[in-house]
């Protein structure tokens, strides 16, 4: 690898500091308000609690007074932010300068969608925020008041606790401040550092003890935002990074045991089938997954339909045939389509009516597959999707060499 990684480090070595006045959320919203007021942004996309309900939704707003009801740190992830952003730019660029305040996994999904030519980022400013994790949606919906209390404790302490969704407990990308460096990945060799980041601006608060925020910009768009925020105080990032790193190390440990556990749980076709037993093939996991963007999913198409005769034959082969059919094919097929881009956001599991551990399975498989391609989805806009590029001399070990190859190799 060349020196891009290093350069970047130097560039982002300091951040802007802001002290929290009273309430963390209020301070964050204050930043957005300022950007709306001084017309740096035309609109912002933020989570908001719907009036008179306990539920959250994304709201795109222009009117800054609406920000009062917004919640930049919602206890749950309802719609995956990448998906929300996708719906905004689906039919073309919206000519509004939009600031989207999202969790890192949502930002990463948006970046994957950008690479897939779905989300258009030209007028979008991606603002990521240190993520305390999210609670399981169902549990929250069943008992919102108590869940919220729980969640507040997590935000205060900044630890990854067991009340969070499983994928949050193993997440290493909860802060783009201390995200695993791209050096580990197949970073692009292009010299401009402009797009070597997920978010334009990052808001960190892990390490600030609830008293300080740390803002860093990694693109010119982000720098522009930072400038317009007129924050004067600089701080070295070392300390902030260390705070995140501590959490990350423990998450990394969790990830290792998690991978092992799931490899065992779903190893072999029988175990895999059992893990998916409860699946009713409703495809809700696919429909809420930010990366599954196809309008018409292959697995919803007519292609898998057959005649009653065929079904009876299939049943007779093993005595009985469960319906709906092709559950396994659906999950494996979906995996083959998108798991390299799986950002381990947990949206699929949250939306599963049967609480099938889909996101855990996808996250484990995703992690393993991504490692073998040295690919981390959504952290760098310039790194191409693994299946859209190849190198001539990669993965040679998967080929079974024949004799003439051997002799050729010998000659060379």
Q: Is 352 near another protein (CB under 8 A)?
A: yes
Q: Is 137 near another protein (CB under 8 A)?
A: yes
Binding site for ligand SF4 (CB under 6 A): 279-285, 289-291, 342-348, 352-354, 356, 358-359, 362-363
Closer of 209 and 355 to another protein (Cβ): 355
Q: Is 316 near another protein (CB under 8 A)?
A: yes
User: 70: which DSSP letter?
Assistant: B
Q: Which of 7, 23, 62, 394 binds another protein (CB under 8 A)?
A: 62
Closer of 229 and 352 to ligand SF4 (Cβ): 352
Which of ligand SF4, another protein, none sits in contact with 346, Cβ below 5 to 8 A by type? ligand SF4
Closer of 76 and 215 to another protein (Cβ): 76
Under 8 Å CB-to-CB from 203, ≥6 apart: which residues? 28, 31, 101, 127, 128, 129, 130, 213, 214, 215
The least CB distance from residue 71 to ligand SF4, in Å, is: 19
Strand partners, 234: 16
Q: How many CA atoms lie within 13 A of 349 on its CB side?
A: 24
Q: Is 408 near another protein (CB under 8 A)?
A: no
Closer of 204 and 346 to another protein (Cβ): 346
Which of ligand SF4, another protein, none sits in contact with 83, Cβ below 5 to 8 A by type? another protein
Q: Is 403 near another protein (CB under 8 A)?
A: no
Closer of 3 and 295 to another protein (Cβ): 295
Strand partners, 17: 214
Q: Is 148 near another protein (CB under 8 A)?
A: no
Contact (Cβ atoms closer than 8 angstroms) between residue 106 and residue 78: no
Q: How many CA atoms lie within 13 A of 3 on its CB side?
A: 3
Closer of 93 and 394 to another protein (Cβ): 93
């Amino acid at each position: 690898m060349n020196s891009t990684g290093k350069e970047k480090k130097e560039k982002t070595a300091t951040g802007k500091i802001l002290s929290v006045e009273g309430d963390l959320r209020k301070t964050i919203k204050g930043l957005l308000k300022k950007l709306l007021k001084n017309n740096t942004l035309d609109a912002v996309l933020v989570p908001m609690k719907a009036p008179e309900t306990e539920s959250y939704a994304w709201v795109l707003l222009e009117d800054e007074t609406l920000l009062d009801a917004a919640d930049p740190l919602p206890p749950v992830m309802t719609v995956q932010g990448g998906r929300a952003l996708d719906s905004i730019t689906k039919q073309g660029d919206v000519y509004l300068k939009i600031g989207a305040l999202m969790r890192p996994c949502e930002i990463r999904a948006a970046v994957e969608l950008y690479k897939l030519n779905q989300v258009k980022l030209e007028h979008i400013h991606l603002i990521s925020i240190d993520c305390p994790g999210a609670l399981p949606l169902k549990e929250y919906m069943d008992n919102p008041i108590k869940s919220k209390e729980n969640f507040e404790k997590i935000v205060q302490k900044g630890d990854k606790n067991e009340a969070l969704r499983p994928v949050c407990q193993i997440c290493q990308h909860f802060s783009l401040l201390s995200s695993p460096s791209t050096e580990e990945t197949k970073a692009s060799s292009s010299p401009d550092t402009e797009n070597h980041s997920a978010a334009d601006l990052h808001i960190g608060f892990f390490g600030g003890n609830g008293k300080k925020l740390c803002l860093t910009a990694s693109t010119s768009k982000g720098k522009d935002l930072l400038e317009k925020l007129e924050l004067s105080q600089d701080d070295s990032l070392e300390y902030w990074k260390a705070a995140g790193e501590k959490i990350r190390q423990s998450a990394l440990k969790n990830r290792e045991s998690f991978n092992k556990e799931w490899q065992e749980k779903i190893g072999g076709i029988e175990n895999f089938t059992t893990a998916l037993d409860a699946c009713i093939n409703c495809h809700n996991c696919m429909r809420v997954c930010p990366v599954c963007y196809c309008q018409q999913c292959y697995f919803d198409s007519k292609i898998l339909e057959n005649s009653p005769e065929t079904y009876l034959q299939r049943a007779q082969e093993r005595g009985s045939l469960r319906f709906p059919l092709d559950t396994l094919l659906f999950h494996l097929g979906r995996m083959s389509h998108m798991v390299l881009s799986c950002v381990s956001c947990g949206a699929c599991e949250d939306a599963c009516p049967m609480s099938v551990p889909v996101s855990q399975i996808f996250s484990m498989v995703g992690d393993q597959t991504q490692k073998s391609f040295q690919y981390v989805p959504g952290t760098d806009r310039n790194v191409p999707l693994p299946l859209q590029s190849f190198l001539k001399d990669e993965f040679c070990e998967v080929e079974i060499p024949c004799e003439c190859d051997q002799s050729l190799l010998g000659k060379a």
